[in-house]
Amino acid sequence: MKTLAGWLLIAGLALAAGAQAGAAGAPSAEAAAWGKAWRTRNPVWRGLHLAVDTGRQAEQLQAELPRLAAVGVNVLIAEVDYSFDFQSHPELRPAQYVTRAQARALTAAARTNGIRLIPEINCLGHQSWAANTLPLLAKHPEFDETPGQHPGNQGIYCRSWCPQNPAVNECVFALTDELVEAFDADAFHVGMDEVFILASEFCPRCRGGDPARLFARAVNEFHAHLVERNQVEMLMWADRLIGAKATGNSEWEAAINHTEGAVDLIPKDIILCDWHYGKRTEYPSVPYLLGKGFRVWPAAWQPLDAARALNEFAHRQKDPRMLGLLCTVWGKVRIPELAAWPPVVETLPGWR
């Protein structure tokens, strides 16, 4: 029969083991320490966002890391979405996906090259593309903000899930936890760009609701799970937090469906990736979001002259919350050619 001292020793060891492992979905102690050291070394973020849809792409990206580091990349946003070997919801896995071993190998190689790797699932909106409904709503149509509507996705841009269906978060939080653990990540990008369907008349929960409050609710629930519970830094696209009319931006890079009021309803420690793909002399959303107290990471794409213009405007913002520049590729560049892509070569090295 064990003594009280023996039981206390066992309990103490169990607690220590639990503290070492951390909560489900939390970064390991190693990841937290590496991230802290990385932030000390890298006050400026030189980023690259790309989709990583298959294990082959993960391996190609791993091979490309030394060349990306050589041109200045120090952050990678890997948009995995549902293309992962999810154990919590295996019904969402496509035919090809990134395995846990490939995720770990990619993270290890990124750290060796001084690159912080941040996984992403595009949340809330972008749950379909053209006629293809993505796995979450294809397998769980009860999560749809417009249940039973728009057959073949005709007449809409992209589907959204219902931000007030409690079963959605139960499912998606399990997915984010798996990606955080697999990539041993200390940050997570939740996407949330181009959300056009919200407060739908077809949703029994959201019908008649305030789009800004519904959008903020989704953001805040992710923040509570990722940041407050798991101590994971949170990033998101910024376009739904700025108004198209006020900024002169298009409906794609700014809101026309009244979600912009959410900017005053969400925590200021979220990093806002403010993307703009047209050439302008000024990008007023950048100082606007900085003035609201957020850290801002402007995001450029193509054409090259537009990337240059946003990069130059971002450089002129003398604010400590300006992080640097994020280049996006959206499938226009093969992974082995990323380090030679002109927007990367011309914009990122200037951020030192």
Tens digits of residue pLDDT in 79-111: 999 999 999 999 999 999 999 999 999 999 999
Q: What mean pLDDT do residues 308-312 have?
A: 98
12 occurs within a structural domain: no
- Rounded to an integer, what distance in angstroms lies between the CA atom of residue 150 and that of residue 319? 45
Q: What mean pLDDT do residues 313-317 have?
A: 97
The H-assigned helical ranges of the chain are 4-21, 29-41, 55-70, 100-112, 135-139, 166-182, 211-223, 244-247, 285-291, 304-315, 342-347
Residue 349 has a CB neighbour count (10 Å cut-off) of 13
14 occurs within a structural domain: no
35 occurs within a structural domain: no
Q: Which of 271, 268, 265, 146 is nearest to 214 (CA)?
A: 265
- Give me the percent of the chain exceeding a pLDDT of 70: 93
- Indicate if the pLDDT at residue 182 is higher than 70: yes
Res 228: pLDDT? 97
Residue 324: give its domain's CATH number.
3.20.20.80
Res 6: pLDDT? 39
39 occurs within a structural domain: no
The answer to whether 80 and 119 are in contact (CB under 8 A) is: yes
- Indicate if the pLDDT at residue 209 is higher than 80: yes
- Indicate if the pLDDT at residue 224 is higher than 60: yes
- Indicate if the pLDDT at residue 14 is higher than 90: no
171 occurs within a structural domain: yes
Q: Which H or E run includes 324?
A: strand 324-328
- Domain range for 129: 44-350
CA quadruple 307, 263, 184, 166: dihedral positive or negative?
negative
Place of tokens 């060796």: 112
Cβ neighbourhood burial of 212 (10 Å; 0-12, 13-18, 19+): buried
23 occurs within a structural domain: no
- Indicate if the pLDDT at residue 3 is higher than 80: no
Q: Which of 294, 236, 301 is nearest to 48 (CA)?
A: 301
Res 24: pLDDT? 83
Domain count, the chain: 1
Exposure letters 255-279 (e unless 16+ CB within 10 A, then b): bebebbbbbeebeeebbbbbbbbee
The answer to whether 45 and 87 are in contact (CB under 8 A) is: no
Q: pLDDT grade, residue 23 (50/70/90)?
A: low
- Rounded to an integer, what distance in angstroms lies between the CA atom of residue 3 and that of residue 118? 47
20 occurs within a structural domain: no
pTM of the model: 0.93
Taking the C-alpha atoms of 317, 271, 344 and 81 in order, what is their torsion angle to the nearest 10 degrees? -160
